[in-house]
Amino acid sequence: MTQNFKILESNPISGKFDEKHFGNTDTNPLWIRFNFRDSSDWVGSFASGGIGLINRKIIEMKNTSKVGVLTNGAFYLINVSLGELIFKPDQGYFTDFDLIPETELLILATNWGLYIFKDKEIIKEIRPDSIDGVRFKKRNENLLTGEICEPSKNGNNWSEFVFNIQTLKLNWKKYEY
């Protein structure tokens, strides 16, 4: 699949492309150049989430003009062909995400759990006790696998979880949420 975006390593020259700014003004935003199908190129400036975490992930939803962007804790869902923001959750500090085109679900991970959104509304929140991180590893059909971090005296212990996209159930160790 051809990517319809390119992360820019330096700020673009003003006026070279149509610019769209997402989030509050940021001294060090993530700049992305988009070229979606027949639309003209434009660049987006994405403000950080304001946390000490450095993370970056971009996913294009197949057969749509939707792109999810995660940068330093902030998440944006945009319509690339229109250059418009579709959704930016009020909650922040996101560590990972996945877009599920078949069900129109957005799954956002934080250090304390998962938020599942559909049509910009939160439909489920999963917050296991005493955790210190969530990250995704892969998605296979209706199962999203990842890891949950449990802090301990000997360092962090990561253990696998499985999230069923259809039932919205998370299985981790002996627990089901």
pLDDT in tens, 84-104: 999 999 867 899 999 998 888
Tens-digit pLDDT profile for residues 25-68: 777 899 999 986 656 789 999 998 876 677 899 999 888 889 99
The pTM for the full model equals 0.88
- Say if residue 18 is in the same domain as residue 70: yes
- Say if residue 79 is in the same domain as residue 9: yes
- Say if residue 37 is in the same domain as residue 54: yes
- Say if residue 78 is in the same domain as residue 100: no
- Say if residue 112 is in the same domain as residue 147: yes
Q: How many domains does the chain have?
A: 2
Distance separating the N- and C-terminal Cα atoms of the chain = 35
Task: Give the integer Cα–Cα distance in Å for 1 and 41.
Answer: 19
- Say if residue 100 is in the same domain as residue 84: no
**C-beta of residue 159 within 8 angstroms of C-beta of residue 172:** yes
Residue-number span of the structural domain to which 125 is assigned: 96-177
- Final residue in a domain of this structure, among 41, 65, 88: 88
| Structure-block tokens of residue 61 | 């939803």
